[in-house]
Amino acid sequence: MIASSTQEPVFFAPGFSVLNAEEAGFRLNTGGVHTSRTMMLAELSASLSSVPATANKADYWSAIVDENCTHKSTAATRKSTALRLTELYALDVKVPIFRALRKAWAVSPDGHPLLAMLCALARDTRFLKTAPVIVALHEGAEFQREPMAKALRIADADRLNAPTLDKVVRNIASSWSQTGHLVGRTFKKRHRINANPAIASFAAYLASHAGLRGVEIFRSGWFQITDTSPTAARSLLLEAKQLGLIDLRIAGDVITLGFDRLDALAGRG
């Protein structure tokens, strides 16, 4: 069964530092890519496999626009793809979130959909606003469009007209299908997903930059959206420590997490 909660998922600590989050690579108070695209998992995968982890932003753009690694038919579409992928994932080694994503990506091929999802949630406000709708669905429950549309209407203060809102809902539902949360064609149903140590490390990394600390990281929306209970989150992070992905110390109720192994450039000038 999917771990569920009657409380709204918490993705950010009360009074968290917007500046610190944005310096880490979060994009807050932005509409996001889903007005025109989905989370573009296939395009991201093609882009990351085309250049080394040390590549700079210009290298990614060259791979997408000049070399057409995402196999788009026109130059305009290639440029648009590069722009949207940059909005969702940064594609810039100077951005901490992207560095952590690439490290986790390299060690967990089977975790790519959920790693991409976590990064996209941090950088696409509309996508993030629909996460509680997905968390609230029990395994096997049929996905209904109206709760997602309602969440988006509230998030955008009803600024989206009906055709645009309908398109955004379709795109976001497609993204949740790409992550594995929704399965089926005509009628989509909630499917349980499974995290692994790399996914848990990245979820904890994002939760930490969102101002959450200690056990609140284990209980956060970053783990709930991966169908991971606090107990399972703890176990996965202990395993991640053994794998050398993070540093973790647990002394009673005191939990200390370090992410220098996930982001080797953290703290450097």
pLDDT bucket at 266, cuts 50 / 70 / 90: low
Rg of the chain over all Cα atoms, to the nearest angstrom? 18
pTM (two decimals):
0.95
Instruction: Specify which residues 189 forms β-bridges with.
Output: 142, 183
pLDDT bucket at 2, cuts 50 / 70 / 90: low
Is 71 among the domain residues? no
Is 172 among the domain residues? yes
Domain residues for the domain of 131 are: 123-190
Instruction: Specify which residues 254 forms β-bridges with.
Output: 251
Does residue 1 have a pLDDT over 50? no
Between CA 211 and CA 190 the distance in angstroms is 29
How confident is the model over 154-201, as pLDDT tens digits?
A: 988 788 899 999 999 999 999 999 999 999 988 999 999 999 999 999
In this prediction, residue 6 carries a pLDDT of 54
In total, how many domains does the chain have? 1
Is 155 among the domain residues? yes
Is 107 among the domain residues? no
Contact between 93 and 56 under an 8 Å Cβ cutoff? The reply is yes
